[in-house]
């Protein structure tokens, strides 16, 4: 299709015939979302935003996922717009996961997601995949660089590919504000080619846990997902 010729009817045709699942969820309703928290963790739902907060107590977490494991990462494109107040002293995961239990840093069940983990005072973001192979369960993690999770980014997962796209940054500036406009372009952060998620349905999940007595939170603005038919 030529650039500039895409119409509203083309969009309806694409969504209704090309995708097995299609959603753009900006949380006008949340009855299909399950929540889990512990200790001082809590979740705040507002129009066009879900905020997952750990509170102050060390080891507290907050988690959300869609109620049903419905989405297959082999045929899906998942995008999530979010930011952290701090990426220090946390474990966080967002993406596809085979079951609805809490993620762990070294999990081998089938998954494809971004992780942030602090170990020995070193904080790192990763792309992470697992395969659930009963004979040889394995995980692949690739350390990522050049991504600031404390600014809003859109994170995209296509099976075993991990992409990011920066968004404008608003900063205080001498009693006013300054708008920093990065190049709005997708960048391929990593391809986990050694271990890939299974060809089966998964949950879409977002999780944060603090590792210190300090408030940590994620602001999630929207989830967009399209799953093609498995032809």
pLDDT in tens, the chain (231 residues): 445 677 888 888 888 888 888 999 999 988 899 999 999 999 999 989 999 999 999 999 999 999 998 999 999 999 999 999 999 999 999 999 999 999 999 999 999 999 999 988 899 999 999 998 888 999 999 999 999 999 999 999 999 999 999 987 665 666 665 556 667 789 999 999 999 999 999 999 999 999 999 999 999 999 999 999 866
14 in a structural domain: no
Give the whole-angstrom CA distance, residue 123 versus residue 129.
Answer: 19
6 in a structural domain: no
Task: Tell me if 226 sits within 8 A of 21, measured CB to CB.
Answer: yes
CA atoms in the 13 A half-sphere facing the CB of 159: 11
20 in a structural domain: no
Tell me the whole-structure pTM to 2 decimals: 0.91
3-state secondary structure string across 32-65: CEEEEEECCCEEEEECCEEEEECCCCCCCEEEEE
168 in a structural domain: yes
- Taking the alpha carbons of 13, 16, 19, 21 in that order, is the dihedral positive or negative? positive
CATH number of 181's domain: 2.60.120.200
Q: Which domain holds residue 104?
A: 30-228
Task: Tell me if 131 sits within 8 A of 101, measured CB to CB.
Answer: no
5 in a structural domain: no
Task: Tell me if 76 sits within 8 A of 180, measured CB to CB.
Answer: no
């Amino acid at each position: 299709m030529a650039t500039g010729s895409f119409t509203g009817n083309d969009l309806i045709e694409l969504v209704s015939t090309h995708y097995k699942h299609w959603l753009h969820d900006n949380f006008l309703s949340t009855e299909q979302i399950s929540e889990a928290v512990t200790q001082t963790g809590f979740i705040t739902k507002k129009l066009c935003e879900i905020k997952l907060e750990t509170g102050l107590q060390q080891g507290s977490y907050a988690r959300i996922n869609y109620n049903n494991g419905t989405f297959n990462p082999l045929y899906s494109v998942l995008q999530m717009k979010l930011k952290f107040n701090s990426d220090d002293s946390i474990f966080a995961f967002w993406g596809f996961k085979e079951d609805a239990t809490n993620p762990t840093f070294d999990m081998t069940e089938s998954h494809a997601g971004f992780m942030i983990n602090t170990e020995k005072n070193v904080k790192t973001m990763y792309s992470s995949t697992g395969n659930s192979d009963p004979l040889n369960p394995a995980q692949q993690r690739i350390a990522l660089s050049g991504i600031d999770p404390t600014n809003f980014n859109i994170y995209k997962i296509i099976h075993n590919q991990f992409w990011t796209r920066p968004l404008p940054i608003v900063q205080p500036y001498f009693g006013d504000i300054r708008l920093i406009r990065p190049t709005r372009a997708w960048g391929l952060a990593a391809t986990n080619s050694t271990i890939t998620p299974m060809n089966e349905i998964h949950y879409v999940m977002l999780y944060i846990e603090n590792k210190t007595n300090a408030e940590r939170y994620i602001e999630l603005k929207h989830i967009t997902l399209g799953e093609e038919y498995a032809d």
